[in-house]
């Protein structure tokens, strides 16, 4: 990525997250005490908010239920985001139940709601005006309708020489749509941000170096989110940077990958070197796992 200024356009989901932290194993057929919080979420929304928290100039394009549109637009605008939210009078805003294990790992139950109806009319080419980078959360590629609209926007961005970043988002949905198909649709993105499980699914390989070498056939730069092992950035020219993880107590890993992506992109848009941007990404991910919820706390 060469542009050092300009707006980042994020395309992806907006969700309502119901975060559940049980005090022990779920007891089937009876009660288990838990901490339960209702929060704003969605991979696209999370990434946009973490980008804004990092000082980036960011626009978020997404689709939400009409009953939430005014509130959500105000919420994003108050955090420094330019919201471009299409409204759906039939489907509600998407909802996700996140069950967090004691070690911070999480499992999701997802109702995509209005996100599943994102269409071409929601993503006009005018969104690319004054944009220096287009970032796509691959949740927006799950259903055929949103996929066609997003891929058309990505094609237009390529014609305008706007670089593209992509987060593969979910092994569950990648398995549904197929790894080979996903790589065909998204080949050519300048930055690709898989975690270790996603890289393994997309390549069929177990070792990080083998995964990265395979993915570089389709993406110019691969930034592998390796959890406790930190992160690895590799480019087609053979350059490679490894950034160790920060030692933190994991409270909730929801949104850590989104924060990581935002930390890296914000750094690059400021003109940071790869090593500095990767360090910022790891730091942002560490902040995310140290709190409950997927979006930055006030003052983060």
Fold of the CATH domain 7-13+42-91+113-289: 3.40.1190
Give one word for 80, left, alpha or beta, with left for phi > 0 and alpha for psi -120 to 50.
left
Q: In which band, very low, low, confident or very high, does the pLDDT at 294 lie, cut at 50, 70 and 90?
A: low
Q: In which band, very low, low, confident or very high, does the pLDDT at 103 lie, cut at 50, 70 and 90?
A: confident
* pLDDT value, residue 1: 38
Q: Using CA atoms, how far apart are residues 165 and 221, in angstroms rounded to an integer?
A: 9
Q: In which band, very low, low, confident or very high, does the pLDDT at 101 lie, cut at 50, 70 and 90?
A: confident
Q: Judging by beta carbons within 10 Å of its beta carbon (0-12, 13-18, 19+), is residue 204 exposed, middle or buried? A: exposed
Domain ranges of the chain: 7-13+42-91+113-289
Residue 105, pLDDT above cutoff 90:
no
What is the residue-averaged pLDDT of the chain? Answer: 90
Residue 253, pLDDT above cutoff 80:
no
What is the reported pTM? Answer: 0.88
Q: Indicate the range of 51-60, 84-93, 129-138, 290-299 predicted with least confidence.
A: 290-299
Contact indicator for 185, 158 with CB cutoff of 8 Å: no
The larger pLDDT score, comparing residue 87 to residue 257, is at 87
Q: Find tokens 């200024």 and name the residue.
A: 5
Query: Residue range 122-149: average pLDDT?
Result: 95
Residue 2, pLDDT above cutoff 50:
no
Bridge-based pairing state of the strands 231-235 and 240-243: antiparallel
* pLDDT value, residue 257: 82
* pLDDT value, residue 290: 57
The pLDDT tens digits of the residues spanning 190-221 come to 999 999 999 999 999 999 999 999 999 999 99
Q: In which band, very low, low, confident or very high, does the pLDDT at 236 lie, cut at 50, 70 and 90?
A: very high
Residue 47, pLDDT above cutoff 60:
yes
Q: What is the DSSP string of 190-247?
A: SEE--BHHHHHHHHS--SHHHHHHHHTTT-SEEEEE-GGG-EEEEETTS-EEEEPPP-
Q: Using CA atoms, how far apart are residues 264 and 268, in angstroms rounded to an integer?
A: 6
Query: Residue range 98-127: average pLDDT?
Result: 90
**Strands, DSSP E only, in the chain?**
7-11, 15-22, 34-41, 58-65, 81-88, 94-100, 106-111, 131-137, 164-167, 191-192, 221-225, 231-235, 240-243
Residue 183, pLDDT above cutoff 50:
yes
Query: Residue range 38-58: average pLDDT?
Result: 92
Query: Residue range 17-23: average pLDDT?
Result: 89
Local structure of residue 93 (DSSP, 8 states): P
């Amino acid at each position: 990525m060469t542009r050092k200024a300009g707006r980042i356009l994020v395309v992806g989901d907006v969700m309502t997250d119901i975060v559940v932290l049980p005090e022990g194993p779920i007891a089937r057929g009876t009660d288990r005490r838990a901490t339960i919080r209702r929060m704003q979420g969605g991979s696209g929304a999370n990434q946009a908010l973490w980008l804004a928290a990092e000082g980036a100039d960011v626009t978020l394009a997404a689709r939400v239920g009409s009953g939430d549109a005014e509130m959500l637009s105000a919420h994003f605008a108050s955090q420094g985001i330019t919201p471009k939210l299409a409204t759906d009078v039939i489907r509600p805003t998407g909802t996700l139940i996140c069950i967090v294990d004691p070690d911070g790992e999480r499992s999701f139950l997802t109702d995509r709601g209005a996100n599943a109806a994102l269409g071409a009319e929601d993503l006009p080419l005018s969104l690319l005006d004054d944009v220096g980078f287009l970032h796509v959360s691959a949740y927006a590629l799950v259903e055929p309708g949103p996929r066609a609209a997003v891929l058309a926007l990505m094609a237009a961005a390529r014609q305008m020489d706007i670089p593209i970043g992509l987060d593969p988002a979910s092994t569950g949905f990648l398995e549904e749509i197929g790894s080979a198909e996903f790589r065909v649709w998204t080949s050519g993105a300048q930055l690709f941000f898989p975690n270790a499980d996603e890289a393994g699914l997309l390549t069929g390989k177990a070792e990080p170096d083998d995964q990265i070498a395979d993915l570089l056939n389709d993406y110019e730069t691969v930034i592998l989110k390796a959890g406790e092992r930190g992160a690895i950035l590799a480019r087609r020219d053979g350059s490679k940077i490894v950034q160790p993880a920060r030692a933190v107590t994991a409270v909730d890993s929801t949104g850590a990958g989104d924060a990581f992506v935002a930390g890296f992109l914000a750094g690059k848009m400021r003109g940071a070197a790869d090593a500095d941007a990767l360090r910022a990404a790891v730091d942002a991910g560490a902040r995310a796992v140290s709190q409950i919820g997927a979006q930055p706390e006030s003052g983060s």
